[in-house]
Amino acid sequence: MKYTALLLAALALPAPLLAQKTPTKTKTKLKPGTTASPVVRPHEPLPAPPADYAVPYADRYITQEHLRRDLSVLASDEYEGRETGTKGQKMAAAYISQQFKDDSLQAPVAANVANPYLQTFGMERSAWQPGGTLTVGGKAYEWLKDFYAFGRTPFDQATAVQPVFLGYGIEQEGYSDYAGRDVKGKDLLILLGEPMNVDGRPELSKDGKPTKWGVDFRAKAALAAQKGARSVFFITQEPADKFEKMTARLAPRVMQPTIAFADQPGSRAPAFFLSPALGLKVLGTTAARLSKEYALGAAASKPLAAGIFKPIRFSISAPQQRSAVTTENVLGFLPGTDLKDEIVVVSAHYDHLGVIGGEVYNGADDDGSGTVGMLSIAQAFAKAARSGHAPRRSLLFLANTGEEKGLLGSEYYTDHPVFPLANTVTDLNIDMIGRTDVAHEGKPNYVYVIGSDKLSSQLHEALQTANRQHGNLDLDFRFNDPQDPNRFYYRSDHYNFAKKGIPVAFFFSGVHADYHEASDEISKIEFDKLEARARLVFFLAWDLANRDARPAVDSNKP
């Protein structure tokens, strides 16, 4: 840019020489015998600086060196994987708040006397206990052999269950397993997978690809929770040896504690997974009969009839140990000038999975990369403000806790905002921007952007303009498709802002073989790509913070 060299030189000048306008002292007429300090008249806000003024701050502060420095700390073994509510997470919160303090960002949580950068709140930790059993037909089946579960148990003590068969547990336009069924407070038996046609293709798919119902049990568990179900028992007909291997691999994660709001029901019903043999036993049928009903359903292209099976009553004990914990969002605030009451949020989650089976899951990409990107953006804005280029709107840099436990930190912030949500212009959320996924190997630098057009066409246009002027990355919008089975739009912290009607843009570089594995280490981060993606978010935030009008909420796309 043509202003770059000039501005780089200007950055070396003392701050007073770069101030937008120096306050003027005026004389005050005093009564005899009195004294007073000079009155300082606030200056009138100046127009927003040209976008080019952002370039030298990005060049100087959003760098591979700075990103590596912060990530080397946050993704180190010393921080023990930053699991929500643990020592490592609190160490990370302290580190982030210190960075905000060093950058002279304001600490906006007045209620926290000890550290006003921290928004602290209480949670409940639940951990499955060994020894659970499920007894049906006089036979006892074993925990972590014949069944396992995720979520918060309703079966701490032995409980009699009369399950209700609900087919695939799907509801969408033109298809419903819930039609005419009241499942409030009930325990559902649901088939994993989705209806297939006679050609073996997903019946509910528009393009022949698996839908969210077929690849993500969480969609079914969330729907069951919305309908008021107490629990879901999933039935699979995969080979028995595959179920055994999957159970053994998942066992350390199943036994990992979970975190939830103590006084709120979960967003998903607790999900129990039954071995093929146990599933058939509870369903009161045989493998041959179930396969026949699958085939009949495919030929008829309609939901499985509710009465085709007569589930068997069983008893279950699946206890958990519960304890109270606290956790913290970290907030750094940069006040704006003439539009300071309006807020642009830049967010990333800093928690990860912690220690599982004795291994530290450092989460260098998930979401160490987004967190250090946010820190570098915060520093660039802070340095610009101190040099006389403060943004017109205020910026809130929000490091969320509890994302891996169910978007808990962002849910708490949007339910207990420090600044009015009505004044929140947008949330730019950064989650995993440090790697290359399989779809982009050998291709130019890219970034997935999700949700930027769902609530505001103007935000979407601003993103594309910022990219043309400063980034020239390949913007990949494929995950904006409402039929995307990965459902990424619903899986990171921006979604809690979108639920409140606030325009969002989610920046993401895709999953990889190290996703949610102990091998997600800093040695695999591509810092040149991380730098480029973080800079794009910075330039977009700069534009949103300085333009005359906030992006209008003018669309409502699914």
pLDDT surpassing 50 at residue 448: yes
Range 158-172 average pLDDT? 96
The pLDDT score that the predictor gives to residue 316 is 98
Angle, in degrees to the nearest 10, between helices 527-546 and 64-74: 110
Residues 6+ apart with CB under 8 A from 332: 97, 99, 100, 103, 105, 106, 107, 117, 378, 396, 397
What is the CATH classification number for the domain harbouring 359? 3.40.630.10
Give, in order, the Cα–Cα distances in Å from 112 to each of 115, 120, 328, 332, 371. 6, 8, 11, 14, 22
Find the angle CA(145)-CA(151)-CA(156) to the nearest 5 degrees: 75
User: Is there a single domain that holds both residue 160 and residue 250?
Assistant: yes
pLDDT surpassing 90 at residue 37: no
Structure tokens at 268: 């998903």
User: Is there a single domain that holds both residue 178 and residue 243?
Assistant: yes
Peptide bond just before 367 cis, omega within 30 deg: yes
pLDDT digits (tens, 9 = 90+) for 196-241: 888 888 999 888 889 999 998 999 999 999 999 999 999 998 899 9
pLDDT digits (tens, 9 = 90+) for 250-306: 999 999 999 999 887 777 899 999 999 999 999 999 999 988 887 777 666 677 777
Question: Residue 317: which of 120, 141, 523 has the closest Cα?
Answer: 141
The pLDDT score that the predictor gives to residue 234 is 98
User: Is there a single domain that holds both residue 230 and residue 266?
Assistant: yes
Question: What's the CA gap between 217 and 66, in Å, rounded?
Answer: 39
At residue 347 the predicted structure's pLDDT band, cuts being 50, 70 and 90, is: very high
pLDDT digits (tens, 9 = 90+) for 322-335: 999 999 999 999 99
The pLDDT score that the predictor gives to residue 106 is 98
HSE (CB half, 13 Å, CA atoms) of 534? 36
The pLDDT score that the predictor gives to residue 49 is 52
User: Is there a single domain that holds both residue 184 and residue 252?
Assistant: yes
> Scanning the structure block, which residue is given the tokens 């921007």?
433
Give the residue numbers spanning the domain of 234. 130-318
pLDDT digits (tens, 9 = 90+) for 356-415: 999 999 999 999 999 999 999 999 999 999 999 999 999 999 999 999 999 999 999 999
pTM over 0.85? The answer is yes
The pLDDT score that the predictor gives to residue 51 is 57
- What DSSP designation does 160 have? E
User: Is there a single domain that holds both residue 72 and residue 142?
Assistant: no
User: Is there a single domain that holds both residue 306 and residue 338?
Assistant: no
User: Is there a single domain that holds both residue 77 and residue 35?
Assistant: no
pLDDT surpassing 50 at residue 27: no
Structure tokens at 480: 């904006």
C-alpha dihedral, 428 to 430 to 433 to 438, nearest 10°: -90
HSE (CB half, 13 Å, CA atoms) of 387? 19
Among 318, 335, 350, where does a domain finish? 318
Mean pLDDT score across all residues of the chain: 90
Please report whether residue 47 resides in a domain. Answer: no
Please report whether residue 358 resides in a domain. Answer: yes
Q: Nearest 5°: phi and psi at 2? A: -70, -20
Question: Residue 504: which of 545, 549, 463 has the closest Cα?
Answer: 463
Q: Return the H-helix or E-strand segment holding 213.
A: helix 212-215
What is the CATH classification number for the domain harbouring 276? 3.50.30.30
pLDDT surpassing 80 at residue 90: yes
Question: What percentage of the chain reaches a pLDDT higher than 70?
Answer: 90
Please report whether residue 476 resides in a domain. Answer: yes
Q: Which alpha helices (H) appear in 432-526, and where do they start and end? A: 457-466, 494-498
User: Is there a single domain that holds both residue 405 and residue 300?
Assistant: no
- Count of the separate structural domains present in the chain: 3
